[in-house]
Chain A
């Protein structure tokens, strides 16, 4: 319990540091949102409209400290303000409309990579020297060495454009309305295949290798020898004793990856025109959209912290040694 309280306390501090950084960092960037808008529109914005713009964006000349305190207050009340680059849509609406897709893409890719990677790793460790152990990890690592946007573009080109096997953009067929029907879900899955596969390909090598190494180390533990000596079936030893202990580092890594879901797949989303949060973040930064940037960072940081906290809780349950230490 004390352990959990300490972790919670730490997360609170980390949260506060992140949102503070979140506030100050963008304001150190040169320029201001209005001049960014001018740059973006390149001559279409009339100079006599600039003052009115500044006012409507709510850009204040108050000292930074005041703005910071106001910002903290706004966070506590959940008022994230209005986006500047997508004026006048509220930040909450902007984030809400896209975060679902990012979560879907990230989560599906992560789950597949983790499950496949760990299963392959366990199998590889079990049959040392076999094909799975000797050749597959290097091959997967090689595939994973490519920059992931390169793989995404390559797959898009080969499987989407040239072969035409998969859709080349968006989360579902244009013109369909989201609903809980089998047809729609199948369509979403169909559109998910290419982007998710590109992410899985890049990450699966690491999961497999890591799991394999940990399994091998675990296999050498005393209690495994003991279990075998006692005559337990190899399957049972492998699953209930070796794999269970070898899974612990994977759980930690899974937790961390879970947190980064929200911020992660920027380039994949751009390549596949997947309506997620990645591009929103990039354009928010490029347009110096303070409210949207802050809102996005807040969302991402919250996710990361919650995911890590959950993992800590789960980990304590899985590994009693942590409570003692």
Chain B
């Protein structure tokens, strides 16, 4: 046989055997094509992990998908989309008159997924573990189990935001965790929780499934057969899965979402980006002149065309911020009088120019502004290179500021680099997120409180722009000691007015909480008209969605 014929024969043999192997699996690879009989799994992508490691420890691995959402629950749930608070593992609570303590009454009849009853001891242990492993809750003095269904928290100082802060802590079973040697390194491979989906029915590096909790306290709300998480190494893969209809919930950033996602199945698919993420600010390093002058900050803020920023940079997914600095989750806190009298978040090149002139930063002959000492007014805008939307925002701002004669250079580097610059106070200006707790206390504290200010060179994780105001401190202390919500709102209004006066940072736009979903296989999603939760898979409201969704059955 000649070479040629032999080669051809070999190739043919290979091809045939390959084809035979393929026929064994082509039609159904398990990827899709299930029938809609009500047993379909809710499929959700996770794009930042690449692969899953089997570790459901809620204290040392809290970002793991579904651990804090489907397996473990908290005492209450605050929904930033509509401002409501839903009792969950706790049914009632009493706040001490001077905000120095709270007593929570736990729900009766709740069981752990292994059958043991849920009691106040579990709450006590959970807070011990949380403070030991991850820290925080410094204001708590003691946690006591008054009786099996009542927990009492005592603080060492008044702290009114504690209600929701404590209420959002997940609770883990004491009878399991007290037996664990090294709670930080405990892998918790077979988790025991109170949540709706706690049983790990399948676990691979590329995906895992969670099945129903047989002892769940709201069995009528467990309509799903289970949850399936898929691992992806980046947005591209997750977006492709969403576009293809291989997942039901798409909580990641999808570029051009109308065309890329919705258009493929407009009857079923929708997206909703409530502006309940943290406020995204343009921060200036107030330790560097002329950024220490509030008028200069206001002028720079006035030069920004926020409509362009949100339309072009953020593809229209959010809206411009106002002078309160409050993001959309604080709509119920917003003081409209401050908003109406606001001047420096709307574009006004003339007024901005005047403010700069008054500050001594004048236009040179070449159309570029110079500082009083003669050096050109030019600085960097730091942003992480992987956040392409924020890089676009930076580009828009740079172009906007050029019209004012100020040269802003977009310095897009690795995020680690950027944040290191923020932490050490060596940056010029940059784009940054802010705190987003249920009350605006943490936000204003991080943006104006002197406690959070650290000198340049000392690493800080809060208040990168290093601005502190004693008036803010006084107001914050009042807020912490506020006896009731009305008092809190009062102080919040004053905080907003102070923020509008001082302009410690230039708020750009509320960060949207990405979320898209399809009604093809499951219905009951939260929407703009029915905002009972957000479409995030990583927040406390996620369990609200998990207990409301129902599978679609084809009949």
Contacts and interface: CB of A to CB of B under 8 A. Distances in A.
Interface of A: 29-31, 35-36, 38-53, 56, 82, 86-89, 93-94, 97-98, 101, 119, 123, 126, 156, 161, 167-178, 182-183, 185-187, 189-191, 235, 238, 269-273, 275, 278-280, 282-283, 286-288
Given A36-B415, A38-B423, A174-B31, 8 more contacts: A39-B418, A40-B48, A42-B433, A43-B278, A49-B135, A88-B55, A169-B241, A273-B206
A97 B205 contact: yes
Interface of B: 2-4, 7, 18, 21-22, 24-26, 28-31, 41, 43, 48-51, 53-55, 57, 60-61, 63, 132-136, 138, 184-187, 202, 204-207, 209, 228, 230-234, 236-237, 240-241, 244, 278, 384, 414-420, 423, 433-436, 446, 452, 459-462, 538
Contacts of B237: 169, 270-273
Given A47-B462, A271-B237, A286 B416 contact: yes
B269 to A, nearest CB: 17
B518 to A, nearest CB: 17
Nearest to A278: B233
Contact of B134 (A53, A94, A270): A53
B136 A46 contact: yes
Contacts of A177: 202, 204
B202 A35 contact: no
Contact of A280 (B4, B50, B418): B50
A47 B461 contact: yes
Contacts of B460: 47
Contacts of B136: 46, 48-49, 52
Contacts of B236: 270-271
A190 B22 contact: yes
Query: B-side binding surface: helix, strand, loop or mixed?
Result: loop
Contact of A50 (B26, B63, B461): B461
Contacts of A47: 446, 452, 460-462
Contacts of A35: 416, 419-420, 423, 459, 461
Contacts of B61: 86-89
A279 B51 contact: yes
A94 B384 CA distance: 27
B240 A169 contact: yes
B25 A40 contact: no
B233 A174 contact: no
A104 B293 CA distance: 61
A123 B3 contact: yes
A36 B419 contact: yes
Contacts of A101: 205
A52 B59 CA distance: 11
24 contacts: A31-B419, A35-B461, A43-B278, A48-B136, A52-B135, A52-B136, A56-B60, A56-B133, A56-B134, A88-B185, A89-B54, A89-B61, A123-B7, A168-B240, A169-B240, A170-B206, A172-B29, A173-B28, A186-B21, A186-B24, A189-B18, A191-B29, A283-B50, A286-B414
A273 B49 CA distance: 11
B141 to A, nearest CB: 16
A235 B3 contact: yes
Given A31-B420, A56-B133, A189-B22, A161 B3 contact: no
B14 to A, nearest CB: 10
Nearest to A266: B233
B202 A175 contact: yes
A186 B232 CA distance: 23
Contacts of B60: 56, 87-88
